[in-house]
Amino acid sequence: MGIKDQFQDKDQELTEKAEQAARRGRSEASERSSQAGEQSQKSLDDAQREAEDQFDRDYDA
């Protein structure tokens, strides 16, 4: 195996590692985004429930 082949092999190896790292990064970002969306929806639901409860308490008083 010549030096040129070694460089080509190393280039391919590093390219594959970079692609894998990029896929992991996109996957992690997607997961965090999904979790943040779920938390936002929960916060909105909680706020709406609290507003409805407050309205009910005010209306009943």
Which pLDDT belongs to residue 61?
A: 62
| pTM (2 d.p.) | 0.49
Instruction: Print pLDDT tens along the chain (61 aa).
Output: 689 999 999 999 999 999 999 888 888 888 888 888 788 888 888 889 998 888 888 877 6
Distance between CA atoms of residues 51 and 57, nearest Å: 10
Which pLDDT belongs to residue 36?
A: 81
Distance between CA atoms of residues 31 and 39, nearest Å: 12
All structural domains of the chain with their residue ranges: 18-61
First to last CA, the chain: 88
Which pLDDT belongs to residue 26?
A: 86
